[in-house]
Amino acid sequence: MAWVLLFTFFSWTGFEPTNVLARSPQWLPPGPLKHITHALPQLPDSWQTILLLLLPCVIVVLAALESWRPTRWWRVALIWLLYLNVMNTGWLSSSGGQQLMANVLFWCTFLSARDERLKAIGFWAIRLQLLLAYTATGLHKLTGTHWLDGTAMGIVATDPAYGPAWIASFPVLARLATYAVLLFQLSFPIAAWFRTLRLPWMAFGAAFHLGTAIWMDIPEMGLAFIACYAIWLDDDQAARLPLLRRFAVEPSVDG
């Protein structure tokens, strides 16, 4: 919910009617799900702009309520539905982090249910979604050449849209960074299952994602992955982190 609040608020305050959100071509996927995932009506430009300004306000209010009030599955479901449709309206500008969070919000609906079986489905779906994202990204990198020969980070750094450009001046550093990222993404889905490896891998991942947030100007993507780390922590690990301590569950008397 913290990610939804921040992302929606800053997207809303920086919204311009002429940006890609307002002029993205309409694309509808085949099948019946398009009536759910692309449910916003096609309106004249002025009305479409008003709609896309109002919906984030509703999302922010609902996410704030969900953060500070007892969770309600219908509120989470409504946040997911509105967020997904706003994101799909500007699908050309969406990132992997936004797509990841759309999936996570869907399974949070199950996580907010009263039925323990539905909670378990949501819990494991979110856990596995994070691992799937890293696995797919890492395997996709193996199909190219620049990640395998160690030049990928140097090439990305020289792109004016990303950076930092100084990395390209140190080929050895760029090569080490390339292989470190590739190894991290391929090994995280394995390390997450081992308690002793989990926190070190998450620490490296947080540093990597914060780096992409600062230098590549895609903070919503990096912070989405970091937000998803929490579900792989047990209560003892969560209690050691100040931001998560209030959510850790105290052990019961009978264990």
- List the single range of 49-53, 85-89, 217-221, 226-230 with lowest mean pLDDT: 49-53
Q: Does the pLDDT value for residue 20 go beyond 80?
A: no
pLDDT band with cut points at 50, 70 and 90 for residue 148: very high
User: Which residue pairs from 195-198 have beta carbons closer than 8 angstroms and sit at least 24 positions apart in sequence?
Assistant: 195/234, 195/237, 198/232, 198/233, 198/237
Q: How far apart are CA 76 and CA 110, in angstroms?
A: 9
| Average pLDDT, integer, range 230-245 | 79
Q: How far apart are CA 43 and CA 40, in angstroms?
A: 9
How many other C-beta atoms lie within 10 A of the C-beta of residue 61? 12
| Average pLDDT, integer, range 164-172 | 82
85: left (phi over 0), alpha (psi -120 to 50) or beta: alpha
Residue 197 burial class via C-beta count within 10 angstroms: exposed 0-12, middle 13-18, buried 19 and up:
middle
- Higher-pLDDT residue of 163, 9: 9
163: left (phi over 0), alpha (psi -120 to 50) or beta: left
Max mean pLDDT range (13-17, 53-57, 62-66) = 62-66
Write down the H helix ranges in 69-115: 73-89, 96-111
Q: What is the DSSP string of 182-214?
A: HHHHHHHHHHTTSHHHHHHHHHHHHHHHHHHHH
pLDDT score at 252: 41
Print burial letters for 129-150: b (CB count within 10 Å at least 16), e (below 16).
bbbebbbeebeebeeeeebeeb
- List the single range of 89-93, 185-189, 217-221 with lowest mean pLDDT: 89-93
Q: How far apart are CA 201 and CA 205, in angstroms?
A: 6
Rounded to whole angstroms, the maximal C-alpha distance in the chain is 62
Question: Angle of helix 116-142 relative to helix 96-111, nearest 10 degrees?
Answer: 160
pLDDT score at 67: 84
Q: How far, in Å, are 84, 105, 248 from residue 95 at the CA level? A: 13, 16, 31
Note the pTM of the prediction, 2 decimals.
0.83
